[in-house]
């Protein structure tokens, strides 16, 4: 609030919304609600009436002091007239005033005020020049509109700068606040310049809108002109019997292509029907391009049956051996499959599923098979696909419809018998509002159905029976059962250290050198260095990480060669690996020098290979509770309880007071989840070792599931577990007797270093680990050194 101590003059405030008020200018304002008291004061000449701008267009009854600006004008009334918009009052502003305190009484608003004079800093010549410039701008703007001359004639009659500004403010886009700023400016010159800026902005906006309109009109007129001319040309050609000549030529091309495509009779008939529809459509028809795209697909798809080339099994095996080291079982199965195809001359059943860890060569095997068969190779990644239309395509009724990936891949290959690798089958996003892509694959991968596969876009049966489908996956768990049932699964296990060494030496190093522009004369990796990289700098089932580490060495070598910092050939040494590759990333557990009673060595399978697993058991005074730690899964916890129950059931009555002792079983690496039944005999042996006080040889490892009756059941992942045992320095391994048949998958160099003992019962386990039998355990419980544990 502003207080005026020297001037206590008061006036009646009339709110004026969104109107520019300047002294010396006559203006028409609308006052929507004026009661009798207001009308009485408006008509009194002696009353001081103040027109005060509002910050916003508020209703009068809700007005408060903060709703008003502080600069207004004293005015005189020239005329009052009632209209539909309200009461029209013609006022003439006389002087500017600054408002002090407000006083609200009933519907009247009173305010203290004091003069706020204007600085007339423009002489007659300056005013005339500014008036002329403003009028010039108005003439330029008016000249761009039809009938705009009348506005320029009106402005030419103005001789007062404030009057012209007030008049023009009605037609340009300036805000309520900007209008108040014009009133508030004390300098007439500055006010004129400020308004000139607003007027020039309005001129630029008008010119921009006109340019946009002209471009749009030009484009619309051109399109309209072309359409009219095209229709006229069509009529003239029809009159001269030359109509449809261009379209007929195109349609004749389609007819020729349909004849040359060697389609089946039913497909050819459907294609000709679509061609008839196209001929009946005009180029401007919405269906014209849809039909053309569909016909393009029909004539580009390979319909002709390809003659199968005889398969040279010797050459196929040579290609597989050259491009993939190891994987003998997988190669044999592929060769057998090719042999069956050659004998039967029937492609049904040619659907394989390669399952194995990442980096084991599943995708590249598909490429090798295509090379061995001398067929086109297509790779189709299914990872993350969640829409059924990706497989089957969209209906042609949809905008932007296209065929599914299967048909698109066949079209791209240009042959109907390619080798198609469906990569990452286990990464399909099953279910969802867009359909189930895994269910859409059922028809594709069913040898009994894919001879008449129907894509939604094609809407005609297409024969996929000649396509050699090879799917790849990392696991079978996420693949739906019905889909899995349609394929033959070939498992690819982890590579052994020796296999990784040969793959790295024979395949990866030459590939990395070529990728980095190096030769063997420029970079050399010794065998011991390669083995150290495999053991200390990779932790994987495949060789993808090994290639990354070799690439890192190649980049270092490239930098040294370009910078002339190395002598050629640059030899990578084992002692340089920590500097070049950083700290070793894999630390495998090693067999201990000595295992105390209650500690045994088990074997575990991981996605990146086998590992040894220490199982520790101890006891303490308590009340018969058993504690299991090490982030064990439910199955492993059950194996521990079975082992304890089995041990109790084999001991003589009251030989051990378990009620007064607590047992604690722990498996180290507590942050790593562990589960599975294959630790059963290791848990049982750990408890037996604790009870008897006998140590188990630290070089003995074991794996096997046990039952409550003491039988040892088979387990999985034997090859990986034995590889892990050999790496850890184990020399004797106990395995279930039923797993002996799996030893044929274990490399010979591993079997030579390990003494593998088949066991059938827990008695066999105790005999091999503690050198005792259960009856001897019973006798040992009478010894004091054993009783102290319980």
Q: Which residues are annotated as a binding site for ATP?
A: 356-363
Active site residue 643: no
Mapped onto helix, strand or coil, the DSSP state of residue 609 is strand
Sequential DSSP letters for 51-117: EEEBSS---GGG--GGGB-SEEEEEEEEEEEEETTEEEEEEEEEEEEEEEEEEEETTEEEEEEEE--
Mapped onto helix, strand or coil, the DSSP state of residue 342 is helix
Mapped onto helix, strand or coil, the DSSP state of residue 238 is helix
Answer for the pair 15, 102: CB distance below 8 angstroms, yes or no. Answer: no
At how many degrees (to 10) do helices 362-373 and 313-323 cross?
150
Any residues with CB less than 8 A from the CB of 605 and at least 6 apart, and which? Answer: 676, 678, 716, 717, 720, 721
Tell me how far apart the alpha carbons of residues 369 and 179 are, in angstroms, rounded to a whole number.
81
Active site residue 125: no
Tell me how far apart the alpha carbons of residues 357 and 507 are, in angstroms, rounded to a whole number.
19
Any residues with CB less than 8 A from the CB of 179 and at least 6 apart, and which? Answer: 18, 19, 20, 53, 169
Answer for the pair 683, 643: CB distance below 8 angstroms, yes or no. Answer: yes
Q: How far is residue 124 from each of residues 120, 166, 266, 269, 543, measured CA to CA in Å?
A: 10, 19, 95, 92, 92
Q: How far is residue 778 from each of residues 301, 688, 692, 782, measured CA to CA in Å?
A: 79, 11, 10, 8
Half-sphere exposure at residue 725, Cβ-oriented, CA atoms within 13 angstroms: 31
Beta-bridged to residue 377, according to DSSP, are 419
The 3-class SS string of 493-556 reads CCCCHHHHHHHHHHHHHHHHHHHCCCCCCCEEECHHHHHHHHHHCCCCCCCHHHHHHHHHHHHH
Phi, psi of 343 (to 5 degrees): -70, -45
Tell me how far apart the alpha carbons of residues 149 and 144 are, in angstroms, rounded to a whole number.
10
The 3-class SS string of 148-194 reads CHHHHHHHHCCCCHHHHHHHHCCCCCCCHHHHHHHHHCCEHHHHHHH
* Phi and psi based region of residue 63 (left: phi greater than 0; alpha: psi -120 to 50; beta: remaining): beta
Which one of the listed residues 678, 698, 699, 719 is annotated catalytic? 678
Phi, psi of 787 (to 5 degrees): -65, -25
DSSP H stretches of helix in 261-374: 265-280, 286-300, 313-323, 328-344, 362-373
Mapped onto helix, strand or coil, the DSSP state of residue 394 is coil
**What's CA 408's distance to the chain center, in Å?**
23
Any residues with CB less than 8 A from the CB of 624 and at least 6 apart, and which? Answer: 658, 659, 660, 661, 662
Which of 285, 303, 469, 281 minimizes the C-alpha distance to 373? 469
Any residues with CB less than 8 A from the CB of 732 and at least 6 apart, and which? Answer: 697, 699, 700, 701, 754, 755, 757, 768
Catalytic residues: 678, 721
């Amino acid at each position: 609030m502003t207080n005026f101590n020297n001037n206590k003059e008061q006036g009646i405030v009339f709110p004026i919304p969104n109107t520019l008020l300047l002294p010396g200018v006559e203006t028409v304002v609308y006052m929507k609600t004026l009661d009798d008291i207001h009308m009485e004061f408006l008509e009194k000449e002696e009353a001081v009436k103040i027109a005060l701008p509002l910050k916003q267009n508020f209703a009068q009854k809700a007005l408060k002091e903060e709703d008003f600006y502080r600069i207004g004008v004293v005015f005189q009334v020239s005329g009052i007239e009632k209209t539909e918009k309200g009461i029209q009052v013609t006022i003439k502003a006389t002087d500017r005033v600054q408002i002090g305190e407000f006083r609200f009484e009933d519907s009247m608003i009173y305010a203290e005020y004091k003069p706020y004079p204007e600085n007339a800093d423009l002489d007659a010549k300056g005013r005339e020049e500014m008036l002329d410039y403003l009028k010039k701008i108005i003439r330029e703007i008016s000249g761009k509109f039809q009938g705009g001359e009348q506005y320029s004639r009106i402005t030419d009659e103005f001789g007062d700068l404030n009057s012209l500004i007030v008049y023009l403010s009605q037609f340009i886009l300036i805000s309520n606040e900007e209008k108040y700023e014009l009133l508030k400016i004390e300098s007439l010159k500055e006010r004129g310049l400020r308004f000139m800026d607003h007027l020039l902005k309005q001129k630029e906006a008008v010119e921009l809108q006109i340019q946009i309109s002209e471009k749009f009109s030009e484009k619309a007129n051109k399109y309209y002109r072309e359409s009219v001319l095209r229709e006229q040309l069509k009529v003239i050609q029809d009159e001269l019997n030359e109509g449809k000549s261009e379209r007929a030529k195109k349609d004749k091309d389609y007819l020729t292509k349909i004849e040359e495509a060697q389609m089946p009779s039913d497909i050819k008939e459907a294609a000709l029907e679509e061609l008839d529809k196209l001929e009946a459509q005009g180029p401007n028809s919405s269906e014209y391009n849809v039909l053309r795209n569909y016909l393009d697909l029909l004539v580009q798809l390979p319909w002709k049956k390809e003659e199968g080339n005889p398969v040279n099994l010797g050459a196929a095996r040579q290609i597989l051996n050259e491009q993939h080291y190891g994987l003998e079982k997988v190669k044999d199965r592929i060769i057998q499959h090719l042999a069956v195809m050659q004998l039967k001359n029937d492609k049904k059943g040619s659907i394989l599923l390669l399952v194995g860890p990442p980096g084991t060569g599943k995708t590249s095997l598909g490429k090798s098979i295509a090379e061995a068969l001398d067929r086109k190779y297509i790779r189709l990644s299914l990872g993350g696909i969640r829409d059924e239309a990706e497989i089957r395509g969209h209906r042609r009724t949809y905008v932007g419809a296209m065929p599914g990936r299967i048909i698109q891949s066949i079209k791209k290959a240009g042959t109907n018998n390619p080798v198609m690798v469906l990569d990452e089958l286990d990464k399909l996003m099953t279910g969802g509002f867009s359909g189930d892509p895994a269910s859409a694959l059922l028809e594709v991968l069913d040898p009994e159905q894919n001879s008449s596969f129907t894509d939604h876009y094609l809407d005609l049966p297409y024969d996929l029976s000649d396509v050699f489908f090879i799917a790849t996956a990392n696991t079978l768990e996420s693949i739906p059962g019905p889909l899995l049932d349609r394929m033959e699964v070939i498992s690819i296990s982890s590579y052994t250290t020796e296999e990784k060494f040969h793959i790295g030496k024979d395949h990866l190093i030459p590939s990395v050198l070529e990728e980095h522009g190096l030769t063997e004369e420029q970079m050399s990796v010794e065998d011991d260095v390669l083995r150290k990289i495999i053991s200390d700098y990779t932790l994987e089932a495949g060789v993808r990480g090994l290639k990354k580490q070799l690439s890192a060495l190649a980049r270092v070598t490239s930098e040294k060669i370009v910078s002339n910092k190395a002598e050629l050939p640059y030899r990578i040494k084992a002692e340089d690996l920590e500097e070049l590759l950083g700290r070793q990333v894999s630390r495998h557990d090693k067999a201990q020098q000595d295992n105390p009673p209650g500690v045994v060595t088990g074997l575990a399978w991981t996605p990146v290979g086998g590992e040894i697993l220490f199982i520790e058991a101890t006891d303490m005074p308590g009340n018969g509770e058993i504690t299991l730690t090490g982030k064990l899964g439910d199955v492993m916890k059950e194996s521990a309880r079975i082992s304890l129950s089995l041990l109790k059931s084999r001991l003589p009555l009251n030989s051990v007071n378990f009620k007064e002792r607590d047992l604690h079983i722990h498996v180290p690496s507590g942050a790593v989840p562990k589960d599975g039944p294959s630790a059963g005999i290791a848990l049982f042996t750990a408890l037996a070792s604790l009870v008897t006080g006998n140590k188990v040889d630290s070089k003995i490892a074991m794996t096997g599931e046990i039952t409550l009756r003491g039988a040892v059941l088979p387990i999985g992942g034997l090859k990986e577990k034995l590889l892990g045992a050999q790496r850890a320095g184990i020399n004797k391994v106990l395995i279930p007797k039923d797993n002996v048949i799996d030893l044929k998958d274990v490399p010979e160099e591993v079997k030579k270093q390990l003494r593998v003992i088949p066991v059938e019962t827990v008695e066999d386990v105790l005999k091999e680990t503690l050198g005792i039998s259960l009856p001897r355990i019973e006798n040992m419980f009478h010894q004091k050194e054993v009783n102290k544990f319980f």
